[in-house]
């Protein structure tokens, strides 16, 4: 087996693991601050790659390795390429992008709910206490 084929397969597996991390990472970060911040950064990156005209570096590396292995490359993103081939035939790219962003926003919603963004700690109030002094 060609060395580049093996490396391309490893990059593809890494890419899939990153996507799984983005989708399910919020379930693994409870009470783990370092993982929480890594996952939040991953969510921001995933949303940016989905909505901006940026290419994921893992896709570029995988395509480069495929060329050197004598294989064919693919246009577009990892998700669109593999999901279109394996699962969802003829899915519009815009729908796939919207679903990807929705999953990321759902994860951000988990963090908002978990940390009570917009609420104050118990016993705290943003209304000044009356001291009886005028």
Tell me the per-residue pLDDT of 73-129, one tens digit each, with 9 for 90 and over: 887 777 667 766 666 667 777 887 888 889 999 999 988 888 876 555 555 554 555
Residue 1: pLDDT over 60: yes
Residue environment code for 33-64, b if the CB has 16+ CB neighbours within 10 A, otherwise e:
eeebeebbebbeebbebbeeeeebebbebbbe
Residue environment code for 66-78, b if the CB has 16+ CB neighbours within 10 A, otherwise e:
beebeeeebeebb
Residue 118: the pLDDT is 57
Residue 7: pLDDT over 80: yes
Tell me the per-residue pLDDT of 32-89, one tens digit each, with 9 for 90 and over: 999 999 999 999 999 898 888 888 899 899 999 999 999 888 877 776 677 666 666 6
Q: Are 59 and 80 in contact (CB under 8 A)?
A: no
- DSSP collapsed to 3 states, the chain: CCHHHHHHHHHHHHHHHHHHHHHHHHHHCCCCHHHHHHHHHHHHHHHHHHHCCCCCHHHHHHHHHHHHCCCCCCCCCHHHHHHHHHCCCCCCHHHHHHHHHHHHHHHHHHHHHHHCCCCCCCCCCCCCCCCCCC
Residue 73: the pLDDT is 85
Distance CA 78, CA 121 (A): 42
Residue 28: the pLDDT is 92
């Amino acid at each position: 087996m060609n060395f580049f084929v093996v490396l391309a397969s490893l990059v593809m597996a890494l890419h899939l693991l990153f996507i799984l991390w983005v989708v399910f990472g919020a379930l693994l970060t409870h009470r783990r601050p370092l993982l929480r911040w890594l996952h939040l950064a991953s969510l921001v990156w995933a949303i940016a790659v989905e909505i901006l005209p940026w290419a994921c570096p893992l896709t570029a590396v995988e395509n480069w390795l495929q060329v050197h292995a004598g294989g064919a490359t693919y246009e577009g993103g990892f998700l669109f390429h593999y999901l279109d081939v394996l699962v969802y035939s003829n899915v519009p790219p815009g729908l796939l992008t919207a679903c990807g962003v929705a999953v990321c926003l759902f994860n951000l919603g988990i963090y908002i709910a978990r940390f009570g963004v917009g609420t104050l700690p118990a016993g705290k109030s943003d209304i000044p206490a009356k001291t009886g002094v005028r």
